[in-house]
Amino acid sequence: MTERKLFSELTREFSPERKAKIASLTNQLREEITFQELRLIQNQHQTDLSEQLGVKQGAVSPMENRKDIYVSQLKKVVEAMGGELVITARFPDMEVRINPESVRQ
């Protein structure tokens, strides 16, 4: 049987550069998650979300797999999960928070 090791043990001898790259990639993955991952992190099943949104469960899966979605629909989904949709535009010299209510479809 293979001996189990903690991740910290496996990475102990990594160079500082490699550790920094791993940390950067980890942060990037935390910032870029899918609808399905968000739902799972919130410990919700598709049926839970469908009830909150007032749609059939079969409508949730296509919603999770869409490449594009209206801001208004995204807002509803986030709020159904108990969150608040925040849109931020980042520029080299500043960040601006955009009110999701002001975005027109």
Question: For the segment 44-79, what is each residue's pLDDT rounded down to a tens digit?
Answer: 899 999 999 999 999 998 988 888 888 888 889 999
Measured CA to CA in angstroms, residue 47 lies from 59, 67, 68, 83 at distances of: 10, 22, 22, 18
* CB-CB contact of 72 with 80 (8 Å): no
Identify the CATH number of the domain defined by range 13-102.
Answer: 1.10.260.40
CB atoms within 10 A of CB 92: 4
- Res 39 pLDDT > 70: yes
Burial 49-63 (b: 16+ CB within 10 A, else e): bbebbeeeeeebeeb
What pLDDT does residue 103 have? 67
- Res 7 pLDDT > 80: no
Across the chain, mean pLDDT equals 85
Give the start-to-end residue ranges of the domains of the chain. 13-102
pLDDT, greater one: 35 or 53: 53
